Chain A
Amino acid sequence: MTTSFSLALPGGQTLGHIGRRLGGLGLALLLPAAMLYLWQLAATHEWVTPLLLPAPAMVLQALVDLHDSGELWEHLGISLGRVGWGYLAGVVLGLVLGAAMGLSKTVEAYLMPSFKAVSLVPVLGWLPLFIMLIGIEEGLKVLIIAKAVIVPVTINTVKGIRNIAPGHFEVARIYRFSPLQTLTRLIVPSALPSLATGLRLGLANAWMALVAVELLAASEGVGFLMVHSRQLFQLDMVMASMVVIGVTGWVLDRILQSIEQRLLAWRVTAY
Chain B
Amino acid sequence: MISRTRLLTRRLILAGLAASVLAPIAALAADAPKVIRIGLPLVGTGNRPVGGSWNFATVQIKGSLEQEFKADGIRIEWNNFKGAGPALNEAIANKLIDVFAIGDLPGIVGKASGLKTKIIAADNRRYAYAIGVPADSQARSIEDLKGKKLAIFKGTAIQLGFGKFLSRHGLSEKDFKIINMDSNTATAALATKDVDALFTAPSALYPLEDRGVAKVIYNERHDPAAANDRGQAYVVATEDFEKAHPEVVQRIVNVLVREAAWSADEKNRSALLQLWAKSGTPFSAYRRDYEGQGFKEALSPLLDEEFVANIQRNVSESQKLKLVRGSVDAAGWVDRKYLDAALKSNGLTNFWTPLDAGGKPKK
A228 in contact with B90 (CB, 8 Å): no
Q: Is the interface of A mostly helix, strand, loop or mixed?
A: loop
In the complex the two chains form, what is the Cα distance from A217 to B89 in whole Å? Answer: 22
Which residues of B have CB within 8 Å of A81?
A: none
Q: Which of B174-182, B205-213, B267-275, B328-336 contacts A (4 or more CB under 8 A)?
A: B174-182
Residues A136 and B90 in contact in the complex (CB < 8 Å), given A232-B109, A232-B324, A234-B325 = no
A62 to chain B, nearest CB (A): 10
* Interface size band for A: 20 to 34
Residues A131 and B194 in contact in the complex (CB < 8 Å), given A51-B113, A217-B181 = yes
Which residues of A have CB within 8 Å of B177?
A: 137, 219
8 Å CB contacts to B: which residues of A200-244?
217-219, 224, 227-228, 230-234
B179 in contact with A233 (CB, 8 Å): no
A17 to chain B, nearest CB (A): 45
B113 touches which one: A131, A132, A224, A233 (CB < 8 A)?
A: A233
Which residues of A have CB within 8 Å of B106?
A: 233
A232 touches which one: B93, B115, B155, B192 (CB < 8 A)?
A: B155
A52 adjacent to chain B (CB < 8 Å): yes
Chain B residue nearest in CB terms to A65: B325
In the complex the two chains form, what is the Cα distance from A233 to B156 in whole Å? Answer: 11
A135 adjacent to chain B (CB < 8 Å): yes
Residues A136 and B86 in contact in the complex (CB < 8 Å), given A52-B93, A231-B154, A232-B323 = no
Which residues of A have CB within 8 Å of B155?
A: 228, 230-233
B154 in contact with A228 (CB, 8 Å): yes
In the complex the two chains form, what is the Cα distance from A217 to B189 in whole Å? Answer: 11
B114 in contact with A51 (CB, 8 Å): yes
A233 in contact with B149 (CB, 8 Å): no
Which residues of B have CB within 8 Å of A4?
A: none
B108 to chain A, nearest CB (A): 10
B110 in contact with A233 (CB, 8 Å): yes
Chain A residue nearest in CB terms to B159: A231
B171 to chain A, nearest CB (A): 15
Which residues of A have CB within 8 Å of B94?
A: 49, 52
Chain A residue nearest in CB terms to B109: A233
| Count of A-B residue pairs with CB < 8 Å | 57
In the complex the two chains form, what is the Cα distance from A110 to B355 in whole Å? Answer: 76
In the complex the two chains form, what is the Cα distance from A219 to B181 in whole Å? Answer: 10
8 Å CB contacts to A: which residues of B190-207?
192, 194-195
In the complex the two chains form, what is the Cα distance from A49 to B91 in whole Å? Answer: 12
A219 in contact with B90 (CB, 8 Å): no
Residues A231 and B114 in contact in the complex (CB < 8 Å), given A52-B94, A217-B181 = no
A55 to chain B, nearest CB (A): 13
8 Å CB contacts to A: which residues of B112-163?
113-115, 149, 154-156
Which residues of B have CB within 8 Å of A131?
A: 194
8 Å CB contacts to B: which residues of A87-110?
none
In the complex the two chains form, what is the Cα distance from A233 to B89 in whole Å? Answer: 7
In the complex the two chains form, what is the Cα distance from A228 to B153 in whole Å? Answer: 10
A68 to chain B, nearest CB (A): 14
8 Å CB contacts to B: which residues of A68-84?
none
Chain B residue nearest in CB terms to A136: B194
Chain B residue nearest in CB terms to A49: B93
Which residues of A have CB within 8 Å of B86?
A: 230-233
Residues A228 and B180 in contact in the complex (CB < 8 Å), given A52-B90, A135-B194 = yes
Which residues of B have CB within 8 Å of A231?
A: 86, 154-156, 180
Beyond A217-B181, A232-B324, 7 additional contacts (C-beta under 8 Å) are A49-B94, A52-B90, A52-B94, A217-B179, A219-B180, A233-B155, A234-B325
Which 6 A/B pairs are nearest by Cβ-Cβ distance?
A231-B155, A51-B93, A219-B178, A231-B86, A233-B109, A231-B154
Chain B residues close to A by CB (< 8 Å): 86, 89-90, 93-94, 106, 109-110, 113-115, 149, 154-156, 177-181, 189, 192, 194-195, 323-325
13 contacts between A and B (CB under 8 A): A49-B94, A52-B94, A137-B177, A217-B179, A217-B180, A219-B178, A219-B180, A227-B180, A228-B155, A231-B154, A232-B109, A233-B155, A234-B325
